[in-house]
Amino acid sequence: MLKSLLGAAAALSMLGVVACSQGPNEEAGENTDTAAEQATTGTTDLGQGPAEEAGESLDAQTGGTPAGETTTPPPATTTP
């Protein structure tokens, strides 16, 4: 009983980590927001800033491909 309870708790905690993961563009936006806040006010706001929101939107549109990179389709196969 205890092992199954611990296994279920571990699975739920992993789901939480996966659900909160950020894509590369969102992380870059967060870093940009943090740098701008540090430069202008000397503090860091933990809420989402405009660059982080834009990065999140870009991640949703590109499937998490970092900005500036392209995904290449697989090579075409020919049948004899």
Q: Establish if 80 belongs to a structural domain.
A: no
Q: Establish if 12 belongs to a structural domain.
A: no
How many separate domains does the chain show? 1
How confident is the prediction along the chain (80 residues), in pLDDT tens digits per residue? Answer: 666 655 666 655 554 444 468 899 999 999 999 999 999 999 998 889 999 999 999 999 988 888 777 666 666 777 66
Q: Establish if 29 belongs to a structural domain.
A: yes
Q: Establish if 36 belongs to a structural domain.
A: yes
Note the pTM of the prediction, 2 decimals.
0.58
Torsion angle, alpha carbons of 22, 19, 69, 30, to 10: -10
Question: Is the CB of residue 44 less than 8 Å from the CB of residue 37?
Answer: yes
Q: Which domain holds residue 33?
A: 23-40+51-57
